[in-house]
Amino acid sequence: MKYLITIVGPTAIGKTSLSIALAQHFKCEIISCDSRQFFKEMQIGTAVPTSEELADAKHHFIQNKSIFENYTVGDFEKEAIVKLDELFLTNDYAVLVGGSGLYVDAVLKGFDDFPEIETSVREEVKSNYEKLGLHYLQTELKKLDPNYFEVVAKENPQRMMRALEVCIGTGKPYSSFLNQKKNTRNFTPILIGLEADRKVIYDRINLRVDLMMQEGLLAEAEKIFPYKDLNALQTVGYRELFLYFEGKISLEFAIEEIKKNTRRFAKRQLTWFKRNEKTKWFDYLENRNEITNYIAKQIQNNV
């Protein structure tokens, strides 16, 4: 039996630290499942593990792509499964860690099968977005698919445009196509969630943003500012600084917006991950032995 120990939870909760501890305990490697950490041009703003952390356990899918590549969740699913098949040839365990719910689900259950959407629908949605802005996408998606609207990254126009074109093109909610296809996997997932009181999560997020600014996030964002329209850069931590570079907001306001939007993102992450009843939730300060003991019991019960 092969086991994929999966660690989920909101941003800044301590998933990286736990994943390394578990990888060392089970003598296995880590699959990173953070859709922002794939890109080598984005390091500080995506909280990529430090060189010391990367040395403590073998990681995969960290800064392995460029922002200039078109890399989808479907691409990640295929590559992650190939890598897991390879790892499971010599080890009964692997760790999957990340805060990108859609990407975690793609690995655990398979990427959902969506019908083809007519080009005219796609073009109409894009045209309306260019004319009416983000508010158009949010309003229409909330009306046509309130369930998906609750968990989607509401500042990510690409994600919302995709959902909206499926709603319009099929006449059905985008969420109705999720989790339909049951792919067989050659591993058993053991899901671990990390959580904390909301104030603790928010305080950790605010501190992390301050540290990112000290570490040089402004210079990192300025370097990729000329490519601000790329899909990979439609993300918290960069989009706000791009507005500052354009002279639309002050730097102080941009930093506060990063904190606010990251807090909102964390709330959506929890909403997404809490849907899975198989996840065992632990306080972020829980003794690591308690977590490893829980995992060991799950493995023992499966034998």
Annotated ligand binding at 99? The verdict is no
pLDDT number for residue 118? 83
Mean pLDDT of 293-299: 96
pLDDT number for residue 52? 95
Q: Which pair of tokens denotes residue 18?
A: 């736990």
Annotated ligand binding at 11? The verdict is yes
Least confident of 41-55, 124-138, 180-194, 277-291: 180-194
Provide the 8-state DSSP code for 189: E
* Domain coordinates in residue numbering, the chain: 3-112+180-302, 119-177
Q: Tell me the pLDDT of the chain averaged across its residues.
A: 93
Share of the chain above pLDDT 90, in %: 80
Give every CB contact of residue 66 below 8 A, 6+ residues apart in sequence. 39, 40, 41
* DSSP 3-state of 166: helix
Q: Hey, which residues does 285 pair with through a beta bridge?
A: none
As a whole number of angstroms, the distance between CA 223 and CA 239 comes to 13
pLDDT number for residue 302? 82
Annotated ligand binding at 188? The verdict is no
Annotated ligand binding at 14? The verdict is yes
* DSSP 3-state of 239: helix
Gyration radius (Cα) of the chain, Å: 19
Annotated ligand binding at 10? The verdict is yes
More confident of the two residues 126 and 203: 203
DSSP characters over 34-46: -TTTTBTT--TTT
> Cα-Cα-Cα-Cα dihedral of 215, 217, 222, 223, to 10°?
70
Which top CATH class is 119-177?
A: mainly alpha
Cα angle 179, 2, 177; round to 5: 5
Count of alpha carbons within 13 Å of 82, Cβ hemisphere only? Answer: 7
Q: Tens digit of pLDDT for each residue in 244-261?
A: 999 999 999 999 999 999
Record: fold of 3-112+180-302:
Rossmann fold (3.40.50)
pLDDT number for residue 112? 67
pLDDT number for residue 181? 60
pTM score of the predicted model: 0.82
Mean pLDDT of 153-177: 89
